[in-house]
A and B are shown apart, each in its own frame.
Chain A
Amino acid sequence: MTAEDQPLLRVRGLEKVFPVKKGIMRRTVAQVRAVDGVSFDVGKGEILGLVGESGSGKSTTGRLILRLIEPTAGSVELEGQDVRALRGEELRKTRRDMQMVFQDPYSSLDPLATVADVVGEPFQVHFKMTRKERDNKVVELLEQVGMGSHHLRRFPAAFSGGQRQRIAVARALALEPKLIIADEPVSALDMSTQSQVVNLLLDLQERLGVAFLFIAHDLSIVHHASRRIAVMYLGAIVEVGDAEEVYARPRHPYSEALISAIPVPDPQAERDRTRIVLKGDPPSPLNPPSGCRYHTRCAYAMEICNTVDPEPTPTVNGGTVSCHLHTSGPMLNGRPISQSLRNTSG
C-alpha cells in the first residue's frame, strides 16, 4: 500500500471488555463486551458518521481510538503508526493529531478558566509558549470558529451552549489535528444552534482538511454531514456505506428500522408511511444474544441467525453489511432490503 491511498485512521478488530465486579473482594462476576470487534477506516479529510443507540458502544469506540481508555484487543493505526504501541512522549505527540469534542459544552469547559486559558492550554503543554504568543494564537482560533477576540477574558458562564461548543471546537483545533473525534457534538444544543455547529464542522473540514469521526444518535444530522456512515448495534458495526446509500437504501434490517424511526417534519408523510416499530428493548450487553446480535428484534430473522454470527459482506455500492439475508435465505447479495421482502415477512 502506498502512502497515497493509505487511510488516515485504520481500526481493526477493536475490542473493549469491561469487568463487572461485585462484593467486598471486588471479584469479577461477569464481562461486558462494550466494543466487540470493530473495524473501519477514516480517509484523510473525510467525515465518517458513527451512529447507534445508547449502549451500542459508539462513544466507547471514540475513546478507545484516543486511548482515553485502553482497548482490550485490536489495532488502531494513525497514518500507519500503531497508536497502541506508543508510550510517554511519543503518545503525547500523536495525540496532537487526534482531538476530541465532547457532547456537553456545559461540563466539558472548566468554569473557572477564561477562554484564553481553555483554548490556549494546549500551546502551553506542547510548545511552552509565552502568554502573549498564546493569546495571539487563541484569537486566530476564535476567528476560525466565528467568535470575536473580545471574548478572550470571559468565563464559560458568559456563553450560550452554541458558543461554548465553538470554544470546545477551537480548543480541539489548537494543535492542527488531522482527526477530530466529535462525540454527540450537537445533541445538547437547541435546535436553532445545532445547524450553526454542524455548518462550522463542515467548514473546518473543507477549509482545513480535518477528518472527523462524527459520533451521534441523530441519523438525520449524521446523514447530512457525513460522506459515509457506520451503524453500530450492541458493540458491533452492522453496516458501513455511502451516507446517501445507507440512508435511502439500507442493507441491514437494523439500519432500516433506525431510519424508519426518525420522525420527519412533514405531517402528510408521517400519516402515509408505515413505520417499522421494533419489538422490545435492546438486549443487555452483559448477555448478548447468540448468533446475530440483532436476531431477537429482527423482523426477518431466519433459523441460521440464532446460531451463526454473520460475517461482513460487500454490498453492491462498496459498503459492507453483516447480515445473513445477504448470504443465506433470500440472498440479497448486497442489494437493498426490497419492498417484496418487507411484504412477505411483514
Chain B
Amino acid sequence: MTDVTPPGDPAPLLSVTDLSVGFKGHTETVTVVDHVSFSLRAGETLGIVGESGSGKTVSSLALLGLLPASARVTGSAKFDGRELVGMPPRKLRDVRGNDISVIFQEPMTSLDPAFTVGNQLSEAYRNHRGGSRRKALDRAAEMLRLVGIPEPQRRLGEYPHSFSGGMRQRVMIAMALICSPKLLIADEPTTALDVTIQSQILELLKSLQAELGMAMIFVTHDLGVVASVCDAVSVMYAGQVIEESPIDEFFSHPLHPYSAGLLDSMPQSVAKGERLRMIAGTVPPPSRFPVGCRFHPRCKYVVEACTTTPPELDSVEGDRKVRCIRHAELTLEVAK
C-alpha cells in the first residue's frame, strides 16, 4: 500500500489487495495482473506507471468491472467500505459514473457522435441522480463552464464533431465529474493530445481536484506527467507492482533497477548530444513472463538468485515498497 499520509488518518478511500486478472486462452490461462495492491485516501493522486503490456490499464478496468466476461478477476478492492470485486453488475453500475468515474485516452471515440453533448452529459446525470431534464441540462451547462468551455449553453446543443480534441477531452472530464465522484480514474487522459493542450488539461484536473476534493488514479507512461500531478507512484512491470513510493523520493532515489532505468532513459538525464541511456531488451508478453524476477533478463544488477526466486514486495523506509532481492545493497543513482 502506498501510504502518503501518516498513520492514524482515516481509512483509505480505496484499498486494493492482491488483485489478479487472468484471461483464458486456447490452452492456458494467462495472468496479466498478478497480486497488485495499492491504496489511496480522499483527495490524493496516485500514478500507475508502466509500459504497454504491464497491466496498468487492465488493473484499473478491473476495479470498474469493465473487463470482458472472459476475464477472471480475484482479490479485493474495497472502496468506501464496499467490495468492488464480485459486486453484482447492477450494483456496480450505481458506483460507476457516480462515486467512481473514468476518463479514457481517446476523446475522439469516447463520445457518441449521434447525440448532442448536452444530451450525453444530462443522461449521465439523470441515470444516477434522476430529476428533470431541465435540471440535468442546467447541471451540464455548469459542468461545461467548470471545465473552461466558453458559451456552455450554446455548446450543449452541438454534436461531438464540432469540438476539437482538447475540447472533447474537456467534455469527457465534465461528464466524468457531473455526479461529483469521490474517485476519478484517468487512463492516459492526455496521451492523444498536443503538449500545449496537455498542459491545459493537467492544470484543469489539478484545479478541479483542489476544488472538489476527489481522489485520482492517473494511469500513464509519462514520468513528466507523474511528476507534475501525482502524490505517489506505483510502477508496474509485467503484471506486477515493482515499486511504490511518494513521488519526491521516487524521483530522487528510485529503489528498483527498472524504475532507475526508466528515469535514466529520459533525455533530461544526459548531456545534449550524448547517447541516451537505455534499458536493453523489451517487455515480455504475458504468456512468456520469465521465472524468478520478471525483470531479470533486462537488469544490469542481475545475480544468480534473481533467475530462480520470485522476489516479494518488501517494505522499506516506512512508506515505500520494492520488489527486488538486492534493494538493500544497491544504491541507484539517477543523473540530473
Contact = CB atoms under 8 A, between A and B. Distances in A.
Interface residues of B, number: 44
B82 to A, nearest CB: 33
Contact of B224 (A217, A262, A281): A262
Nearest to B269: A265
Contacts of B336: 266
A263 B202 contact: yes
Contacts of B261: 192
Query: Is chain B's binding surface mostly helix, strand, loop or mixed?
Result: helix
B278 A265 contact: no
A263 B51 CA distance: 18
Contacts of B55: none
B279 A192 contact: yes
Contacts of B67: none
A178 interface: no
Given A199-B275, A243-B272, A160 B202 contact: no
B222 interface: yes
Contact of A219 (B195, B222, B266): B195
A278 B221 contact: no
A265 B266 contact: yes
Contact of B199 (A199, A243, A275): A275
Contacts of A54: 165, 194
Nearest to B237: A192
B287 interface: no
A199 B276 contact: yes
B13 interface: no
A281 B228 contact: no
A281 B162 CA distance: 13
B27 interface: no
Contacts of A264: 224, 227, 268
B266 A263 contact: no
B166 interface: yes
B132 interface: no
B197 interface: yes
Specify which of A162, A193, A244, A267 lies most central, judged by the most chain B CB atoms within 10 Å of its CB.
A267
Given A196-B278, A223-B272, A281-B166, A191 B196 contact: no
B203 interface: yes
Nearest to A193: B282
A281 B167 contact: yes
Contacts of A202: 275
A217 B265 CA distance: 18
A101 B64 CA distance: 40
Specify which of A220, A258, A265 lies most central, judged by the most chain B CB atoms within 10 Å of its CB.
A265
A220 to B, nearest CB: 5
A29 to B, nearest CB: 17
Interface in B195-238: 195-200, 202-203, 221-228
Contacts of A243: 272
Contacts of B226: 265
Contact of A263 (B165, B199, B221, B267): B199
A66 to B, nearest CB: 25
Contacts of A199: 275-276, 278
Contacts of B279: 192
A265 B196 CA distance: 17
B278 to A, nearest CB: 4
A53 B194 CA distance: 6
A212 to B, nearest CB: 14
A190 B198 CA distance: 19
Given A195-B278, A224-B276, A263 B224 contact: yes
Contacts of A302: none
B276 A257 contact: no
Contacts of A263: 198-199, 202, 222, 224-225, 227-228
A160 B166 CA distance: 31
Specify which of A162, A190, A195, A218 lies most central, judged by the most chain B CB atoms within 10 Å of its CB.
A195
Given A220-B268, A278-B200, A281-B164, A192 B278 contact: yes
A30 interface: no
Nearest to B222: A263
Contact of A190 (B221, B225, B228, B272): B221
B245 to A, nearest CB: 11
B248 interface: yes
Interface in A232-263: 243-244, 257-258, 260-263
Given A162-B282, A265-B227, A266-B251, A278 B196 contact: yes
B140 interface: no
Contacts of A191: 51, 221-223, 262, 265
A160 B336 CA distance: 30
Interface string A256-290: 01101111111111100001011001100000000
Given A265-B268, A268-B248, A275-B199, A160 B194 contact: no
Nearest to B249: A267
A190 B52 contact: yes
Interface in B46-89: 51-52
Nearest to B275: A199
In order of increasing CB-CB distance, the 8 nearest A-B pairs are A263-B224, A195-B276, A224-B267, A53-B194, A261-B199, A190-B51, A270-B228, A195-B278
18 contacts: A53-B197, A163-B282, A190-B282, A190-B283, A191-B223, A194-B265, A202-B275, A218-B195, A219-B195, A224-B273, A244-B272, A257-B196, A261-B195, A263-B202, A263-B224, A264-B227, A277-B200, A281-B166
Interface of A: 53-54, 160, 162-163, 190-196, 198-199, 202-203, 217-221, 223-224, 243-244, 257-258, 260-270, 275, 277-278, 281-282
Given A195-B267, A261-B196, 20 more contacts: A53-B194, A160-B282, A162-B282, A163-B282, A191-B221, A192-B51, A196-B278, A198-B276, A199-B276, A223-B267, A224-B273, A244-B272, A257-B196, A261-B198, A263-B228, A265-B266, A266-B268, A270-B227, A275-B199, A282-B194
